[in-house]
Structure 1
Amino acid sequence: MGEYDRRIIEWLVGWDSPTVATLASLVIRARKAGGVR
């Protein structure tokens, strides 16, 4: 991981679990659907 990735993870640590799970689900579904690359 790079510095940018570490900053994002540190930012997400303050969020509650359901919010992070929803965000991760959206990213995974967008990737599977051929979303923005």
Structure 2
Amino acid sequence: MLNYGDEKSVKNLFDPVGINNVADIFYKQIAKK
């Protein structure tokens, strides 16, 4: 499980790809578990 401290790093990697929204959904799913 990823730490939320790594969330910004992951989103920064996803941002240039244009799937930042996918990253948000992905982390929301993790938060529910």
What TM-score comes out, normalization by structure 2 length? 0.44
What TM-score comes out, normalization by structure 1 length? 0.41
Q: Relative contact order (C-alpha < 8 Å, sep 6+): which is higher?
A: 2
